[in-house]
């Protein structure tokens, strides 16, 4: 058993939440029972995730996409139904958004870079930049990505035959592609794509990979789940409510 407020304090310090002006509250978003034994880990707070967490007899849910918005109180429609289920079952909802993208070791992007065996990893926006010691063929890198992300339907704009220096920002980060022009970065991995990105990627000569918003953001919550097991002795279970987007 562990106290949810002790968990929150530890994670707030670890993920340095005070550094972020996020558009949601990071930490305990819905308070349930104070002592927890089992935690359901997942990407997004939705009804299917809640129902599966209840089936697993979880005391707490830990997610990346919790309740967005802050400094307000309005419970209507689908959000009211979600919150109602949580409160009825005396569960805690804990969510961390930008801090869980950005942490260079436990965040989504740091974890992806680690799994791709990148070196010299440095922060970049809410993500990271890392590199290989030498250029590798794009075909070889594609195989690495398929293994890491466990999907072959990666959305790719290939504009170079090689890969060496890579920027990674999970989720909806196509906006940052402009900042990669005239840099040494030759490949950008993120989780979404917009209509104009194809042409920008081609014109600045960069490989662009959309690996999926959901898929790129499974890594941070899993890393935190391991911390909760080791640091607090909690039982955790990752609930995969897959989203192809």
97 is in an annotated binding site: no
**What does residue 166 show for φ and ψ, rounded to 5 degrees?**
-130, 130
Q: CA–CA separation, 142 vs 189, rounded Å?
A: 11
- Which of 92, 72, 97 is closest to 17 using CA atoms? 97
**Tokens coding 118:** 């990148």
178 is in an annotated binding site: no
**Tokens coding 47:** 């009804």
Order of strands across the sheet with 60-65?
A: 27-30, 92-95, 60-65, 38-44, 235-238
What is the SS3 assignment for 163-203? Answer: EEEEEECCCCCHHHHHHHCCCCCCEEEECCCCCCHHHHHHH
Cβ-contact 83, 32 below 8 angstroms:
no
**Tokens coding 3:** 């106290």
Cβ-contact 56, 40 below 8 angstroms:
yes
Count of Cβ atoms closer than 10 Å to residue 241 Cβ: 16
Residue numbers belonging to the annotated binding site: 64-65, 101, 213, 217
Residue numbers belonging to the annotated binding site for a divalent metal cation: 64-65, 101, 213, 217
């Amino acid at each position: 058993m562990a106290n949810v407020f002790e968990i929150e304090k530890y994670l707030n310090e670890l993920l340095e939440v005070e550094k972020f002006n996020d558009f949601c509250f990071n930490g305990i978003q819905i308070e349930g029972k104070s002592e927890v034994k089992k935690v359901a880990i997942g990407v997004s707070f939705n009804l299917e995730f809640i129902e599966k967490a209840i089936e697993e007899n979880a005391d707490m849910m830990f997610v990346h996409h919790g309740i967005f918005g802050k400094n307000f109180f309005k419970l209507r429609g689908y959000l009211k139904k979600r919150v109602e289920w949580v409160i009825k079952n005396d569960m805690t909802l804990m969510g961390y958004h930008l801090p869980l993208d950005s942490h260079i070791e436990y965040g989504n992007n740091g974890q992806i870079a680690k799994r791709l065996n990148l070196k010299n990893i440095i922060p970049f926006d809410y993500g990271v930049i890392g590199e290989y010691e030498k250029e590798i063929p794009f075909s070889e890198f594609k195989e690495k990505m398929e293994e890491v992300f466990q999907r072959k339907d990666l959305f790719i704009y290939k504009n170079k035959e090689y890969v060496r220096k890579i920027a990674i920002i999970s989720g909806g980060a196509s906006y940052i592609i402009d900042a990669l022009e005239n840099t040494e970065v030759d490949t950008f991995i993120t989780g979404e794509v917009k209509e104009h990105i194809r042409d920008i990627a081609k014109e600045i000569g960069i490989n662009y990979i959309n690996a999926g918003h959901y898929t790129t953001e499974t890594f941070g919550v899993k890393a935190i789940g391991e911390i909760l097991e080791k640091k607090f002795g909690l039982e955790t279970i990752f609930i995969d409510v897959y989203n192809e987007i």
